[in-house]
Amino acid sequence: MTVREILSIGHPALRARAAAVPRCEIASERTQGLVDDLIDTMRHANGAGLAANQIGETDRVVVIEVNDNPRYPYKPPIPLTVAINPELEVLDDETVVINEGCLSVPLRGDVLRSVNLRVRYFDREGAEHCITVRGLTAGTWQHECDHLDGVLITDRADPSTLSTWDEFEQHHRDAFIERITRFNQQMSS
């Protein structure tokens, strides 16, 4: 297990646009090692996802997983997903405000996200995938893919909603969970 340092806001790597991984390099030892490091680091930090930029790498690789995550108990489960060269396509105009956190930014804030997306990517074996994601899961994909473009939640969040994790827990968490639970129920009905 290799846990890498997660870079914090201010580090230039977080503002760099990641480069596509050539398909012929997906099976390489370097790319596979990066994927393993991303998984180990994300799980160690209890993250819902992690982009290569966040550990100082310039490849278009993200990992996403939500499974009884103590940081995000309100998020629906997402099986471990390795996405190389992910591309997002917004499917309609429906949006939702999600209070997001980030492993690279010690703040949370309300971010307007698209609800329905089509996602295309290659997995770690080089197989191509095309999936449709909704709601909070779509928000997670948008958050991680933003990282690959050098975009942080501080660029997208309503500045008046920014708070530290502790202040969010104390003052805003219950209202957000109530609102997002109603949203999730509406989506599933």
What pLDDT is attached to residue 94?
A: 97
Q: Which of 19-28, 49-58, 67-76 has the lowest mean pLDDT?
A: 67-76
Task: Name 136's Cβ contacts closer than 8 Å, sequence gap at least 6.
Answer: 74, 75, 76, 98, 180, 184
Whether the per-residue pLDDT at 61 is higher than 90: the answer is yes
Q: What share of the chain is helix, strand, coil (3-state, %, to 5)?
A: 40, 30, 30
Distance CA 11, CA 133 (A): 31
pLDDT of residue 1: 82
pLDDT in tens, 66-107: 998 888 888 899 999 999 999 999 999 999 999 999 999 999
Q: Residue 65 and residue 69: Cα distance in Å, rounded?
A: 9
Q: Which of the four pLDDT bands, split at 50, 70 and 90, describes residue 20? A: very high
Q: Specify whether the CB–CB gap between 133 and 115 falls below 8 A.
A: no
Confidence of residue 2 (pLDDT cuts 50, 70, 90): very high
- What tokens does 5 get? 């340092």
> What is the pLDDT, as a whole number, of residue 38?
98
User: What is the number of other CB atoms lying within 10 angstroms of the CB of residue 17?
Assistant: 11
Contact 9, 104 (CB under 8 A): yes
Domain boundaries defined on the chain: 12-188
Positions marked catalytic: 144
Between vectors from CA 109 to CA 78 and to CA 16, what angle results, nearest 5°? 75
What was the pLDDT predicted at 106? 93
- How far is Cα of residue 34 from the mean position of the Cα atoms in its chain? 17
What pLDDT, on a 0 to 100 scale, did the predictor assign at position 69?
83
User: What are the beta bridge partners of residue 61?
Assistant: 84
Mean pLDDT in residue range 173-180: 91
User: What are phi and psi for residue 36, nearest 5 degrees?
Assistant: -60, -45
Q: Which of 147, 132, 109, 125 has the alpha carbon at shortest distance from 7?
A: 147
Give the right CATH number for 12-188 from 3.90.1150.10, 3.90.45.10, 3.30.1490.190, 3.30.1330.120: 3.90.45.10
Q: pTM of the predicted model, to two decimals? A: 0.94
Q: What is the mean pLDDT of residues 169-181?
A: 91
pLDDT tens digits along 115-147: 999 999 999 999 999 999 999 999 999 999 999
pLDDT at 73: 83
Q: Side by side, which strands form the sheet with 105-114?
A: 95-102, 105-114, 163-164
Across the range 3-14, mean pLDDT stands at 98
